[in-house]
Chain A
């Protein structure tokens, strides 16, 4: 940690479990993650990977059936896990903001955009006048690409399209100049040409304001295009992390390799069968011993079932939790 650049967000060994009717579900197990200022870090994984739980855990917005939450998470040296509820509330929105997949349900339909955007500022800048807050809101809407922002700020959420609502969400999230923006599948509900607009917007905002973005997505392509760093999650653990270019060019974990093979098999237009990962995501109320991916892994070895592999270096800043990962200079063969 000493020679690494000072990181904005540090997560160490974060574990979260929920009480369910079937017992304790260990939805996050030993998740570690580092994020430098101004970076866009992608968290990619499929259903049940725990990527959305990670987002809500960072904000400590956990559902009532939370059973345990252990480990460390710190934003700029502030320990998020031991912070009092009141101080955590103050930090949310001010230093960490979040945008969601469905901007409609996240915008209160009975208030105009102006009211919503003024409210957000009131907590952060109590002294500001209405006119100041209004002007800032209009400027921010303009910045995220809402045409006629000065007029449209009087409108209500339902008067905007899905893409515009997501822009408004982003504008609201950025009003308080947070250090970290968590974006949980922000484009999943949008059309692909609108998705491209939002992705460009996030990129531009990062370049202009220096905000760090934790971008949570199921789309490998989107993460590959947008993110500097990538964290691959599977069934509640980080199986691989590293710089986007290196990770997608030389995936080190068999799960990442298999996922990329699935994705790539849709590319070729031959009659060849599509690649699938056989089996199912394990039941997190009955986490098997050993590597979590062992049950579906094509390269499984006896030790994989006995012991959880630690993250090992697979290149500069590139790590994967697999016994097959060896010296950084010799990445393991890609899956056939």
Chain B
């Protein structure tokens, strides 16, 4: 397995004071699906967009196949654009409203100097793959349904045959009876096109189902990262544990002992010193208030905590 993306000490500060991402490192292996979970202010979307080069790191770096994104020359940047794409949360607003579906789907080809006519087979194949009728080609985004818009957004992201696809809250606002359709489609496309996914979501059920590994974020830092199975079944970080316990369960047998976290999520403008989580942590001690814990690897996962939970 080759390493596709390497994120090293990533720090992104907005307006000189909003520390959206504060020292995050992780790898993304080709073919895997990595999930980023966290609540408001965790920086998960900012990290995802930094991976696409949409934000310039204040510190640290993002490398794609060994090439640092911030230092890409024009030609390399165009190459990178064909490697990494995004599926947006709100499908409608990610489609330029005055272009037809046809133009929207051929535009990526035109941007990269490919002949839309000669390459139209790509679009036909993708439309078939995402189950879109060719009848829609001459419609405008506001004339199609929400589900169709989502599929157009996905097809568009895949026209250039990227290797990395970032999915930003792909199931947000979807009813549970139909969200499976979208997730099944993403899984199918992953097989068909050999994609690597970075899946951003606050929905723990979705993350648990579709990711191979997961990073749990809190206030711009990774609290815990590891294989999804391990993080979900044996969380070591108290925040991960609390997050999982807060996820409502239908089956009484599966409900974890409730640890309702007290207090608010602090503002990323003024993150607490020491461990970011100490203001709400039931296990916090004086050391946590001053000394930020390092991310350390133990078994299949890494966690940043001075007083981790025992292995069950």
Contact = CB atoms under 8 A, between A and B. Distances in A.
Direct contact of A and B (CB under 8 A): yes
Interface of A: 46-47, 161-164, 191-197, 199-200, 218-222, 224-225, 245, 248, 258-260, 262-269, 271, 273-277
A192 B250 CA distance: 15
Contacts of A47: 175
Contacts of B208: 266-267, 269
Interface of B: 39-40, 175-181, 183-184, 187, 202, 204-206, 208-209, 228-229, 232, 242-243, 245-252, 254-255, 258, 260-262, 264-265, 280
Nearest to B249: A221
For chain A, what secondary structure do more than half of its interface residues adopt (helix, strand, loop), or is it mixed? helix
A215 to B, nearest CB: 12
A288 B77 CA distance: 55
Nearest to B262: A197
Contact of B180 (A197, A267, A271, A274): A274
Given A161-B264, A164-B264, A267-B208, A46 B248 contact: no
Contact of B260 (A46, A196, A221): A196
B180 A224 contact: no
B39 A193 contact: yes
A276 B180 contact: yes
14 contacts: A46-B176, A162-B40, A196-B258, A200-B260, A218-B176, A222-B248, A224-B249, A258-B177, A262-B176, A263-B176, A266-B205, A269-B208, A274-B184, A277-B178
B243 to A, nearest CB: 6
Given A193-B39, A259-B176, A259-B177, A221 B248 contact: yes
A275 B180 contact: yes
A274 B208 CA distance: 12
A195 to B, nearest CB: 7
A191 B266 CA distance: 13
Given A196-B260, A276-B184, 17 more contacts: A47-B175, A164-B264, A192-B246, A193-B265, A194-B39, A194-B264, A196-B261, A197-B262, A224-B250, A225-B249, A258-B177, A263-B250, A264-B250, A273-B180, A274-B180, A274-B184, A275-B180
B181 A225 contact: no
B248 A224 contact: yes
Nearest to B180: A274
Contacts of A218: 175-176
A195 B247 CA distance: 9
A269 B249 CA distance: 16
A192 B40 CA distance: 10
Contacts of B209: 265-269, 274
Contacts of A193: 39, 242-243, 246, 260-261, 265, 280
Contacts of A196: 245-246, 258, 260-261
B250 A260 contact: yes
A47 B178 CA distance: 11
A46 B177 contact: yes
Contacts of A274: 179-181, 183-184, 209
A274 B174 CA distance: 14
Given A262-B177, A276-B178, A276-B184, A192 B249 contact: no
A276 B181 contact: yes
10 nearest A-B residue pairs (beta carbon): A221-B248, A274-B180, A191-B39, A277-B177, A46-B175, A196-B246, A276-B180, A266-B205, A224-B250, A222-B248
B260 A248 contact: no
B139 to A, nearest CB: 19
A261 to B, nearest CB: 9
A191 to B, nearest CB: 4
A192 B202 CA distance: 8
Q: From A193, A220, A277, name the one whose CB has the most chain B CB atoms within 10 angstroms.
A: A193
Contacts of A264: 250
B202 A220 contact: no
A242 to B, nearest CB: 14
Nearest to B41: A191
B176 A220 contact: yes
Q: From B204, B229, B246, B262, name the one whose CB has the most chain A CB atoms within 10 angstroms.
A: B246
Contacts of A191: 39-40, 202, 265
Contacts of A259: 176-177
